[in-house]
Amino acid sequence: MKFIPLLLIALFSLKTQAESPIAFAIHGGAGTITKANLTKEKEAEYRQKLTESVKAGYGLLKSGGTSEEAVIKAIQIMEDSPLFNAGLGAVFTWDGEHELDASIMRGQDKQAGAVAGVKHIKSPIAAAQLVMNKSEHVMLSGKGADAFAKENDLTTVDNSFFDTERRKRALEKVKQKLLKHDHAMNFSPDVVDYKFGTVGAVALDKNGNLAAGTSTGGMTAKRWGRIGDSPIIGAGTWADNQSCAVSATGHGEYFIRHHVAADICARVKYGKQSIQQAGDYVLHNVLSPEAGSGGVIILDAKGNIAMPFNSEGMYRASIDVNGNITVAIYGDE
């Protein structure tokens, strides 16, 4: 008789395990990414880095890590790679510097942290996490954020640490184009192709908790302390266990005005749409390639994944609840 309760406990724990799926997805930016403008070698490099990052985040979840930890881990791998517009390899501002933005949000308690326009923090996503966990605030900016990170022993670097030749050439090209137009800040896609390369991650851990994070250098040739959507909670990043987790990439001004990440999850929460329906609607009906080019990665509390975009391509990868991995770049994969 006394074995019956034990049996029940064993069955119950098997059931809870079966009911606790893990899933993970990342992006490395959206934009005019076509087979014609990516060499075979570069394409292989992107696929390799995306694979490394998605596997690292998923591996952490598998060994019992939290969704927050998995998001940080995967984003840091991309921040450290010159392939992406985040951390090392971030785009240049008009003045030839780097100003980095990042944010993170947890779905179980809606805690969030962000940094904007920082110049010296090696890992902006780690600084966003620090703001979330070690301060009373949600967003810190500029010099203050850099000082906060330093005081809390995050690694700081000279701004030139983020330089790469490729991004320097991109700045020169963009400046030439912009100066030809009357309005020096015409960022419309037909004037300038920005080659977005922001990075982001969304995770669902064994405890059923969602998290999302995003890190970026913003847009090439940005001026006057311009801040995009990436560090803005609700625009570039959102996580809520009751609906979904989202990380966005694209033309930030539109993503801010349409409150893209939170709007997608609101459609799921109140409109009872699936994440695919909500994401497709926002990317294709609210935004468009002309007015809000970009994409998002979305994950819900059941582990469903959606990765809609309205640009030609989006660097992306995911591992679903069955452990199946997808790594893709172009629109037709």
What are the residue numbers of the active site?
198
Q: Which is nearer to ligand ASP, 237 or 304 (CB)?
A: 237
CB of 72 to ligand ASP, least distance (A): 19
The angle formed by the CA atoms of residues 205, 208 and 209, to the nearest 5 degrees, is: 70
Site for ligand ASP in 232-271 (CB under 6 A): 249-250, 252
Residue 218 interacts with ligand ASP (CB under 6 A): yes or no: yes
Give exposure, 129-140, as e/b (b: 16+ Cβ within 10 Å).
bbbbeeeeebbb
Interatomic CA distance for residues 94 and 138, integer angstroms: 27
CB of 140 to ligand ASP, least distance (A): 17
Q: What CA–CA distances, in Å, run from 3 to 14, 61, 85, 255?
A: 16, 33, 58, 57
Interatomic CA distance for residues 226 and 219, integer angstroms: 9
Residue 219 interacts with ligand ASP (CB under 6 A): yes or no: yes
Q: Which is nearer to ligand ASP, 208 or 295 (CB)?
A: 295
- Cα 329 from chain centroid (whole Å): 15
- Token pair 């805690």 is found at 111
CB of 294 to ligand ASP, least distance (A): 6
Among 99, 205, 229, 312, binds ligand ASP (CB under 6 A): 229
Task: Enter the tokens of residue 32.
Answer: 């005019």
Among 198, 209, 247, 318, binds ligand ASP (CB under 6 A): 198
Contacts of residue 311, Cβ cutoff 8 Å, sequence gap at least 6:
30, 31, 32, 33, 196, 250, 289, 293, 294, 295
Among 58, 84, 187, 196, binds ligand ASP (CB under 6 A): 196
Q: Which is nearer to ligand ASP, 26 or 219 (CB)?
A: 219
**Mask for 20-59, x = binds ligand ASP (CB under 6 A):** ---------x------------------------------
Residue 228 interacts with ligand ASP (CB under 6 A): yes or no: yes
Residues in touch with ligand ASP (CB under 6 A) = 29, 85, 196-198, 216, 218-219, 228-230, 249-250, 252
